[in-house]
Amino acid sequence: MSFLDRLKNWFRSEIPSETLNTEVPAVAIEPQNEANNLVTPTTEIPVLSTEAPLTPFWLENEDALRDEGVIFGLSDSKAEEKIGAIRNYFSHKTADLEKTAEYLSEKIGELNLFIEQKETRINELKDKAHTLENREAANHYLPRTIVGLLLSLAMCVGNYYLIDESIQPNFPQNHFFIALGVLLAGMFNLFNPKSLFHEKDAPVSWRNALEEIGMPLAASVFVFVQALEHQSIVRALALLLFSFFLFLFAGKLLLSNLTVTKNDMSLWLGNRRLKSDKISKASEWDVELNRLTNEIDELRVQKWKIVDELKAPEAELKRLNEKRDMMIKLFESEFNLARSYREKLTSKQIKKILE
């Protein structure tokens, strides 16, 4: 029974004392045992067991809760005491549900993390496969550079025999080693890594020119002097010019071909490796992609099973929280209404209302 109903019944039953008769006023009176309990406001919070908390008598139904709100509103007690008791009671009831919901939520979070990690790995594999598929073989000129290397090597060998024939009359015993030394001194001028004739933007000084052509010129003049004693001047001059330019370009050509051959060989090996990777790694990545996809499907099945399990405790938790809030609002409503009427009533009237 609400406070307003109780108040209305009290006013209907109030009559002057001199006209009292033996008739009992028709007012709605609570059972005797409950009225006795409601006369004196109780502020004790029930001792709740962690396993099965006891339900306070004033939380068994709405009427009992309304009466408790009226009693506290007409007394000097504070509403926070009963509100705290209501919250404490429902916190015991929702403790296990909250733990269950928290545990299941953590399991869902773990599964989401595993799924995210596997999806990240899948994206990485797809990017690698796409990059590998779009890679084109590098252009190289390995056959041409090999032929050029062989020809430059043949030039060096031919130049050696030419020098050897030219100096043999003057050095009959050690002409093999002398011819080899002259060849190496003239052809392999290693002062600069690149020839000045191929560097268009590099400034040319007399030091650079001397380093570039000094040794080839000295070697060709040496051969010219040795050949001049046994050959005509014209043949000696022709040998001078031929050996000079051969020294000047053939050595660097041989060294350059060695470098180009090395680079082209690396490109050729890289192309072979690329072709092999497109077959082996693509197949390996496809197997891993299928495995990761199956694992993600299994994790999602586990996740949705847990999501279904989580719905029941969440729904029950929501129901209990809504019931808690409803009871708190109901108690506060009756408490505030009774508190607003308390100053207008005498202690005798208040006692009469509570009976």
DSSP 59: G
Mean pLDDT, consecutive 10-residue stretches, the chain (355 aa), reads: 52 39 34 34 37 66 79 77 86 89 92 94 88 78 84 84 84 82 76 55 65 80 84 85 82 79 86 81 87 93 92 91 89 82 68 63
pLDDT at 346: 65
Helix axis angle, 233-342 relative to 62-74, nearest 10°? 70
Which of these, 241, 236, 225, lies nearest to 170 by C-alpha position?
225
pLDDT at 345: 66
pLDDT at 79: 78
Amino acid at 147: V
Torsion of CA 287, 293, 298, 300, to 10 degrees: 170
Long-range contacts of 19-24 (CB under 8 A, 24+ apart): none
